[in-house]
Each structure stands twice: as structure tokens, then as C-alpha cells.
Amino acid sequence: METLDIRGIPTRTWKNAPPSLRALADHARGHGERLVTIYEDERISYDAWYRAVARLAAELQHCGIDKGDRVALAMRNLPEWPVAFFAATAIGAICVPLNAWWTGQELAFGLADSGAKVLICDAERWERIAPHQAECPDIETVFVARSDSEDQTARKLESVIGSPREWAGLPDAVIPEVSISPDDPATIFYTSGTTGKPKGALGSHRNLTTNIFSSAYAAARNLLRRGDPIPAPAPKVGLTVIPLFHVTACSAGLMGQLYAGHTIIYMHRWEAVEAFQIIEREKVNITGGVPTIAWQMIEHPEREKYDLSSLEAIAYGGAPAAPELVRKIYETFGSMPGNGWGMTETMATLTVHSAEDYLNRPQSAGPPVPVSDVKVTDDQGNTLPAGQVGNLYARGPQVVIGYWGQPEATAATFADGWVDTGDLARLDEEGFCYIVDRAKDMVIRGGENIYSSEVENVLYDHPAVTDVAVLGIPHRTLGEEPAAMVHLAPGMKVSEEELKQWVADRLAKFKVPVRIIFSAETLPRNANGKILKKDLKAGFEQD
């Protein structure tokens, strides 16, 4: 590590991290004929991927894209996604990955807010966006992948780079040369927008490449703490089932995968049996995403029909997990569980928690990565001692530059290198971080603070419960009281009163949900895996 001045703040950084995404792309090219992506029957080598990146990068320049211009990317997880991402960022443009689950109007918001000049999308996203073209006046060129349409307002991406099977035959060119510094802007990722309109978090090249060494360090630490030697590097096979437009998949996942030469498998959509088939066929070593996916793998009645012994780790982020899930991953698959904490504003990884440390501290999010610091403060900004719950702040080279075009929001969230995470947390004596709640999710009952995650963890420990959210419902004199919505495992039954008693046996009486209602489906989540609690309140009003 070394300490550098970043925007006037002395900041610890990884000394040997790639200085830019262009440098990362050039490094990844060296993996040659090893497979970089598998999607259905499309198998793409690193060399073919790089050729497509170089060709598309040159075409973007031909379209007038200069350093700092925005290039929007809106598509599901396809081999074209990392091609488009690196074609833009490697020539100094700012890539704007848009949420592929958004409606046409929401996508138009992201295009207009970012001022994107070029849009690269798939046919499904273009179908949503096309009616809103008038709302996106800055868009000059649209490339659409995998489209049968003859829409004259858009160009087919295949007209530039061909289909994935043809990338290996593209010219052996290099990415056009552009001067890029580590702290130049590279991306705008929009926050999940669980409240209000999403904000665009402006990230730098260093923000993204920091995660490469943070994750590698954590993996080495696990081995050393176990007493094992660090083995020679060996490429792995990973099944990525969370969207690349989320920082967990892109920053925490894709960056390190490309650096190490791993093979990344994408699915059209998550389906447990299909995932089992892929894991067995391709000998997948690493998968995960969000806790719901891990639960579905564990509880699926057909799981034992497949050979899943290649799995070494099942990791997830984006949402807290029940301690029971941590244990069950290890017991069911013999795989090591992994988790971490971060947010869009920290370009994903800020703490990492995995293997035996996670098994022994299943309610923790782990320690901060070595280049980062966290602190817990009271409302006056005073740092609190270990064990006390307060406001969580974080700093490090992965904290983004600020919010795109929103100086007031930036000033309110970022100060002196620290980001106000909006989370309530505590640290233990060894520096392991425990996320207690989102500040806005805390239920205050007659002046008593109830951390929703504490009640959720107790409910998760019930063998019938696989999905749960605790939130506050209005009360005339107490202000609000805790209530819960739960989803049960297939074939399981439990009553509201039995669950209330389960909580009452384990927590103080004032923390027991006054109402528990059951959902036939898993609870609604945004693309980042966070439960949309605001969408659940209507269920209590109707019940």
C-alpha cells in the first residue's frame, strides 16, 4: 500500500492495482484463449473479447465520443455488456450502466440526467426506451444488440462488432490510446432509489480497480488465518446471477474476474434447476448473489440430483443474511460462505467477510479492507467506543467522487474523504463491523429504538421462514410499532401467534411484531437485492 493525495485527501491505496480500466483490459487480453464468458451456447475467449472491445472503442470515437462524454449501457447480463463497458471506459468516456429492470420512463430519466450521447442496449431495453426518445435530447447514436427490428433510428451493434461467435475473427487491433489518470471519472452508477429519485454516483477508475486487490487480500487472509499456504494462482469458474449494472457484480465481481482470468457464466434469468445443471456441467467454483438465491439453492427439492461438489464458495451482498443461512451453506454444500458490505457510493466492497471468520461471526459484515477505514459516531459526530451503536462512516480509495450534477447532495453525504453511509452499526474489539440497520429503517416505538435487522434475524432462525421484512406501522400514541411480513419455505406452516411467541422467547417484549402477515411470494426487491419495504406498507393497510 501507499498513501496518495486524492482530491486533497491523504488516502491509502493499493500500490500495484491497475491504474485504469484501459490497463485492466490490456492485462486481461493476456489470458488469451481462456474463456472469459459463457452464455448459453456462446463461449468467448479473452482474446476475442478484447478484439470486440478495441473495435467498438474505435467506433465510439468515430461517433464523436471524447474523454468525459457519457455512454449509457442498458442490457441484461450478456457477453456484449463487458465489451460495451470497457469500450467506453478504456477511451476515457464515462459509462452509465442503467438498471435493466427500469421502465422506459425510468431509463429515459437516467439517459437525460447523465446527458449520455450514445446508448448501447439490447432489444428489450430499446423497446422500452424508443417511445421516450424526445425526453433524451443528448442521445446522438443508439446501438442495439440482438434485435430483429428494422428501426431506422438505431444501429445494430452487430454491424460494428458482429455476433459474439464472430469476435475471434475481428482485426487484432489495440484499444485507441487516450491519456487516463487513476482518479479520472469512469462510471455513473445510479443508487437503488429505495426513496426518491436515484442519484448518479460518479466513480473513478481507481474506485473500480481497488476491488481487485481488496478481494485478493481477503482470500489470502482466509488461508493464512486457517494456517494454509497461499497456493499458486488458478483461474476459477464463476456463475454470476446478479445484474452487471449493480456495483456488486461489476465492481466487486467483474474487475477481479478479468484480472485473474476467471471464466464468467451468465444466465438469461435465474432459475435454480438450470443453475444446478450449469454448476455440474461447467464445474462452477463460485456463485451467489443475494441471500434469496442461496436459500433457493439450499431448499430446492431437486438439489441432490446434481453434482455440486465443485462449489468452493457461495458469496452474496446487497442485503443482510440470516445467521442460519451462513451455517447452512457450509453444512449443505461444504462451501465457504462469503459476504461483505458496501454501497453504490463505495463502489461495492468496503468490508469483506468469508470462510471461518464468517462462520464464527455470522451477524458481522467483516472488517474493513486494508485500504479503508470505518468509524461509528453519535449524532454530534463524536467517535463511539467498540460495542456502541451509532452512525457508520467510511473512507478509502473506492469512495466515489460524488453525485453527478448534485453538489448539495454531495456536500451532505461526503466530507473530508468520509462518506455518511446512512447505516447504523457497531464495531467489536477486533474491528469487525456489524450493520445494525438502515437509519431510516429503524422503528422507534415510544422512544425505544428497534433495529429491524435484529428482529428479522430472529424470525429467519425459525425453520419455516425464508424471507422476512420488519417495518414500522403507525400507532396513535407510540408513534409506530414493529410489524413483519414473512414468506414461508415450501410445504411449511406456522401461525402468526407462533411466530410472535418465537420472537418473544428471544427478544424484549417491545420488539415483538404486533402484526405478522404472510406473503405467498418472496418479498419484492430492487435489482441490488434490497427488500422494497416502502412497497410492503400497503399490505398492512389492506390487511
Residues sharing a CB contact under 8 Å with residue 138, sequence separation 6 or more, in sequence order:
70, 111, 112, 115, 116, 117
CA distances from 475 to 444, 472, 482, 483 (A): 11, 9, 10, 11
Spatial distance between the Cα atoms of 159 and 185, rounded to a whole number of angstroms? 29
HEC sequence for 163-230: CHHHHHHCCCCCCCCCCCCCCCEEEEEECCCCCCCCCEEEEEHHHHHHHHHHHHHHHHHHHHHHCCCC
The residue assigned the cell 402468526 is 496
Spatial distance between the Cα atoms of 463 and 519, rounded to a whole number of angstroms? 16
Spatial distance between the Cα atoms of 323 and 360, rounded to a whole number of angstroms? 10
Element at 326 (helix H, strand E): helix 323-333
Beta bridge mates, 45:
35
DSSP 414-456: EETTEEEEEEEEEE-TT--EEEEEEGGG-EEETTEEE-HHHHH
One-letter identity of residue 88: A
Inter-residue contact 437 to 453 (CB < 8 Å): yes
Spatial distance between the Cα atoms of 380 and 444, rounded to a whole number of angstroms? 20
What pLDDT is attached to residue 195? 46
Do domains 20-180 and 205-384+392-439 share one topology? The answer is yes
HSE at residue 180, side-chain half, CA atoms within 13 A, is 28
CA distances from 5 to 8, 10, 400, 416 (A): 6, 5, 15, 12
Per residue in 376-394, pLDDT (tens digit) is 999 999 999 999 999 999 9
Q: How confident is the model at residue 192 (pLDDT cuts 50, 70, 90)?
A: low
Inter-residue contact 512 to 504 (CB < 8 Å): yes
Inter-residue contact 342 to 323 (CB < 8 Å): no
Q: How confident is the model at residue 193 (pLDDT cuts 50, 70, 90)?
A: low
Give the best-scoring range by mean pLDDT among 40-49, 101-110, 230-239, 460-469.
40-49
Closest by CA to 352, choosing from 149, 176, 188, 212, is 212
What pLDDT is attached to residue 288? 85
Spatial distance between the Cα atoms of 136 and 84, rounded to a whole number of angstroms? 20
DSSP state of 529: S
What pLDDT is attached to residue 124? 96
Spatial distance between the Cα atoms of 377 and 235, rounded to a whole number of angstroms? 41
Q: How confident is the model at residue 194 (pLDDT cuts 50, 70, 90)?
A: very low
What pLDDT is attached to residue 278? 98
CA distances from 531 to 125, 337, 351 (A): 24, 21, 21
What pLDDT is attached to residue 156? 97
The burial class, CB within 10 Å (0-12 / 13-18 / 19+), for 36 is: buried
Q: What are phi and psi of 334, to 5 degrees?
A: 70, 15
Domain 20-180 in CATH 3.40.50.980? The answer is yes
Cell of residue 85, nine digits: 463497458
* Residues 141-150, mean pLDDT to the nearest whole number: 94
Cell of residue 436, nine digits: 445494525
Given the candidates 3.40.1410.10, 3.40.1390.10, 3.40.50.12780, 1.25.40.10, the CATH classification of the domain at 205-384+392-439 is: 3.40.50.12780
What pLDDT is attached to residue 527? 64
Inter-residue contact 314 to 295 (CB < 8 Å): no
Q: Is the pLDDT at 500 greater than 50, yes or no?
A: yes
DSSP state of 483: E
Domain 442-542 in CATH 3.30.300.30? The answer is yes
Specify the pTM: 0.85
Q: Specify the pairing of strand 479-488 against strand 465-475.
A: antiparallel
Per residue in 511-521, pLDDT (tens digit) is 899 999 999 98
Inter-residue contact 484 to 443 (CB < 8 Å): no
Spatial distance between the Cα atoms of 507 and 312, rounded to a whole number of angstroms? 35
The residue assigned the cell 432462525 is 461
DSSP state of 236: -
DSSP state of 367: P
Q: Is the pLDDT at 398 greater than 80, yes or no?
A: yes
Q: How confident is the model at residue 447 (pLDDT cuts 50, 70, 90)?
A: low
What pLDDT is attached to residue 201? 97
Q: How confident is the model at residue 323 (pLDDT cuts 50, 70, 90)?
A: confident
What residues does each domain of the chain span?
A: 20-180, 205-384+392-439, 442-542
